[in-house]
Amino acid sequence: LGDWTAREIEFLNNWLLLSAKPAVYLVNCSKKDYIRKKNKFLPKIFEWVQANGGAPIIPFSGVFENEYAELAEEEREAWVKEQGADSALPKIITTGFKAIHLIYFFTAGADEVKCWQIRKASKAPQAAGTIHTDFERGFICAEVMHYDELHELGNEQAVKAAGKYRQEGKNYTVADGDIIFFKFNVTASGKK
């Protein structure tokens, strides 16, 4: 969040200042330049961006991305191998999320998994509040495992057996990729 406090950011957000917004520079190259990863303007663009505050620069090709998007899912891998380059879209998305300080966390039940977006450095009760305000108000604890641990170990029981499944309290800062089960109890109707 830079050098601004959360309160200052909240105040400044009311003004919607374009100059206060994070930037990511997307440089649209020809398909040929994108595949060979060379463009005569990229060094000049890089110099300008560094001289004017610095920000991520992502070269991509609109033509390449359009052709990629029109392919059937099963044709994409062979086409990417043939072209010698992959889609820049995943990098654009993750870089954009990082630039605006957002992270993902997941909730999972027997029949569904949901992905939620929150601001980086959010505490567990605030993350619970993105699902429902009652979750934040009646927050008890969060049972947490990380996606990478689940992926590595295969299932929730294996994560628990490895001691990587943990209970966290109100001061827990949610990490990108956490899988969370929130425990809460709301007995009153809240503020009157």
**pLDDT score recorded for residue 1:** 44
User: What's the CA gap between 34 and 47, in Å, rounded?
Assistant: 19
Res. 9: pLDDT tops 90: no
Mean pLDDT of the chain: 92
Which residue in 59, 61, 62 sits closest to 45, CA to CA?
Answer: 59
User: What's the CA gap between 93 and 129, in Å, rounded?
Assistant: 24
Residues 6+ apart with CB under 8 A from 182: 107, 124, 128, 131, 135, 139, 141, 142, 143
Is the pTM value of this prediction over 0.85?
Answer: no
Residues 6+ apart with CB under 8 A from 16: none
Say which range, 11-20, 63-72, 158-167, 179-188, has the weakest mean pLDDT.
11-20
**pLDDT score recorded for residue 19:** 76
- Residues 50-78 have a mean pLDDT of 95
**pLDDT score recorded for residue 53:** 83
Cβ atoms of 50 and 58 closer than 8 Å: no
Instruction: Give the model's confidence band at 8: pLDDT under 50 very low, under 70 low, under 90 confident, else very high.
Output: confident
Beta bridge partners of 168: 142
- Residues 178-188 have a mean pLDDT of 89
**pLDDT score recorded for residue 192:** 52
User: How many CA atoms lie less than 13 Å away from 125 in the CB half-sphere?
Assistant: 10
User: What's the CA gap between 40 and 183, in Å, rounded?
Assistant: 56
Higher pLDDT, 92 or 191: 92
pLDDT per position as a tens digit, 97-148: 999 899 999 999 889 999 999 999 999 999 999 999 999 999 999 999 999 9
